[in-house]
Amino acid sequence: MSVTTSKPLMQAQDGAIGSEKKAHIVRVGPTIWHWQLLTLFAFGLAWEFVARNGYIDPLFIGTPSKILKFGYVELFVTGKLVEDMLWTIAGTAISFILGSVAGIATGLLFVSVPTAERFCEPFLSAMNALPRIALAPLFLLWFGLGIGSKVALGFSLTYFIVLSSTVAGARSVDRDFLVLARTLGASPAKIFMRITLVSAVPTLFSGLRLGLIYSLLGVIAGEIISAQHGLGQQLSYLAGTFQIDGVFAVLLLLALLGSSLTYGMSALESRLIRWR
């Protein structure tokens, strides 16, 4: 990922400059990567050492070797964590898709009908200011312990993020582009479709990336509070029964899950907006 984002803008007088610079970065990349891996390994070793010798009670911090073992067994032998992970992923995916679609649709409505925005703005601001986790008891009452309540929570977070980034993106359109398009004879519909919408895409994407993480957050929070399945539910069960190695294994899994979601989103983004 670091390679794609730090790719230099090539001021191409000729095409060769670009490929030279790319080769340069590839040469540097693995070295940093090695050091990062080494640091992580050293940290794990130190943690193992501290826990084994009881400098800090392993009841609170676990032991890396046992954490990895727990993760391995629950993922590949019993498969219990896999099932929970699939529930969490499903919840995240549904709340992300629903939240983004609704957010983008509302955003586009606001951009094309400013009166609608002026009317809805105070209501939406109030809802957005409300800590959404506080709605969890209500959602549980409405949608039960199944997937519905956590999707509702994830949706309520994602929707506002995607909505505001859609509006901000469409507003960020370059004024001169609009002037030029008018003089070129573009109709308002063409200006909206081919300039305003396209200009909104980069900002929209950073909103979507954030929205995805917040979907995961909402779903996990919903599961922790109360649910039948999911990594959040598993997390609160493990912590409640003092299986600290299990807690850390789930946290590790969540970190990996979150990173791969972000990574996937960035990959999609750089494919779609190569012109940036």
Partner 1 sequence: MTSSGRIIVEGLIHSFHGKVNALQDVSFTVAPGEFVSIVGPSGCGKTTVLNIVAGLVPRERGTVTIDGRPPQAGRHDIAYMLARDCLFPWLTAQANAELGNGFRDMPKPERREHAERLLNLVGLRDFKASFPKELSHGMRQRVALARTFCMPSPFLLMDEPFGALDAQTKLQLEDLLLSLWSKERRSVIFITHDLSEAVLLSDRVIVMSARPGRIVADIPIPLERPRSVRSLQKDPRYHELYSKIWEKLEYGIFEPA
The residues that touch partner 1, with contacts defined as CB under 8 A, are 9-13, 18, 174, 176-177, 179-187, 190, 195, 198, 201, 273-276
CB of 165 to partner 1, least distance (A): 18
Q: Supply the minimum distance, in Å, between the C-beta of residue 6 and partner 1.
A: 15
Backbone angles phi, psi at 39, to 5 degrees: -60, -45
Closest by CA to 97, choosing from 168, 170, 151, is: 151
- 6's CB contacts (< 8 A; 6+ apart) are 25
Which residue, 141 or 184, is less far from partner 1 as judged by CB? 184
Work out how close the CB of 3 gets to partner 1 at its nearest, in angstroms, rounded to a whole number: 18
Contacts of 228 (CB under 8 A, 6+ apart): 145, 146
Nearer to partner 1, 186 or 252 (CB): 186
**How distant, in Å, are the alpha carbons of 87, 113, 122, 140, 254 from that of 258?**
15, 36, 32, 24, 6
Comparing CB distances to partner 1, the nearer of 206 and 226 is 206
- Comparing CB distances to partner 1, the nearer of 57 and 176 is 176
Closer by beta carbon to partner 1, 78 or else 187: 187
CB of 113 to partner 1, least distance (A): 23
Residue number, 177 or 237, with CB nearest to partner 1: 177
Question: Cβ 185 to partner 1, closest distance in Å?
Answer: 4
Q: How far is the CB of 208 from partner 1 (least distance, A)?
A: 17
**Rounded Cα–Cα distance for residues 140 and 150 (Å):** 8
Residues 6+ apart with CB under 8 A from 62: 51, 244, 245, 247, 248
**Residues 256, 226: Cα–Cα separation, whole Å:** 23
Alpha-carbon distance 152 to 137, whole Å?
11
In a 3-state reduction of DSSP, which class is residue 53?
Answer: coil
CA–CA distance, 165 with 129 (Å, rounded to integer): 16
